[in-house]
């Protein structure tokens, strides 16, 4: 009985194993599992409660995966025209391709920027780190600069801070400051899908350029388009300290 208990203690949930192997974040790994892309010891597994040990042979898309010893935390200034995905059947440029020759580990993006947006995005192979930054309660600030083709309505910044409902979806930024008639700075902490673009579409103002210039304590200054750099230990710790979610409630095993 004691041996059985020790064996169970050595096992971790399959989605956490995938995350620690650098396959994807824990949340994204759950979808990879339920889509039937993962096998354990030759058998396809779709149950999220499945646990595995280091002795198990785990494959994703028929390729065996292994725990990565080196944890990477990379900041990329994503250019316009690149998508935030690890694969694409349409042959589009992927932001992760800008990192493949520089970092040997399997890295994945924490959060997203749409294809036509540019600026800062974090890549990692640390599933715990990605989960904490991506958690809805983390409230990690992301700051954007938006350049428009037409003058920005004078009341838009205040409306966005109070909240705007579009097609039954409520959008509200943490802060918005108009820089000039065609440029505005916006801070989000949640970031719904295409939130900024949807708000500007609702007032019929086109966006010429949308750039994420800050994630938490990380700023874009000094990082040219398509350039990347590794985060320091202090920067990684600083990001985690900014996250408001209680990691003690995050059950890993």
Residues labelled as active-site residues: 114
Residues 6+ apart with CB under 8 A from 210: 116, 117, 118, 119, 144, 145, 146, 147, 196, 197
Span between the terminal Cα atoms of the chain, in Å: 20
**205 near 149, Cβ under 8 Å?**
yes
Helix (H) or strand (E) holding 159, with range, is: helix 156-162
CA distance 30 to 46: 9
What does the block give as tokens for 222? 């000094």
**189 near 141, Cβ under 8 Å?**
yes
In degrees, rounded to 5, the angle at the alpha carbon of residue 120 between the alpha carbons of residues 118 and 122 is 130
* Cross-strand partners of 169: 166
Beta strands 118-124 and 207-215 are: parallel
What does the block give as tokens for 236? 């990684």
């Amino acid at each position: 009985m004691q041996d059985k208990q020790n064996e169970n203690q050595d096992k971790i949930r399959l989605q956490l194993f995938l995350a620690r192997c650098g396959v994807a974040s824990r949340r994204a790994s759950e979808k990879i599992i339920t889509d039937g892309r993962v096998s354990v010891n030759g058998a396809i597994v779709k149950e999220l409660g499945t646990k595995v040990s280091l002795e198990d042979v785990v494959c994703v898309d028929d390729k065996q995966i292994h725990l990565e010893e080196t944890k990477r935390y990379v900041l990329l200034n994503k250019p316009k025209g690149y998508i935030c995905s690890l694969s694409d059947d349409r042959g589009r440029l992927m932001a992760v391709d800008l990192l493949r020759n520089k970092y040997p580990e399997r890295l994945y993006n924490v959060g997203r920027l749409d294809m036509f947006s540019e600026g800062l995005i974090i890549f990692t192979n640390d599933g715990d780190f990605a989960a904490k930054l991506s958690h809805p309660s983390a409230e990690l600030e992301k700051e954007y600069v938006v350049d428009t083709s037409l003058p920005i309505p004078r009341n838009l910044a205040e409306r966005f801070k109070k909240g705007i409902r579009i097609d039954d979806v409520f959008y509200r930024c943490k802060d918005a400051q108009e820089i000039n008639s065609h440029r505005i700075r916006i801070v989000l902490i949640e970031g719904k899908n295409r939130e900024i673009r949807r708000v500007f579409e609702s007032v019929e103002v086109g966006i010429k350029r949308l750039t994420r210039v800050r994630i938490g304590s990380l700023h874009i200054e000094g990082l040219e388009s398509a350039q990347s750099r590794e985060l320091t230990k202090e920067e990684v710790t600083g990001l985690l300290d900014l996250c408001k979610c209680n990691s003690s409630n995050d059950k890993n095993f």
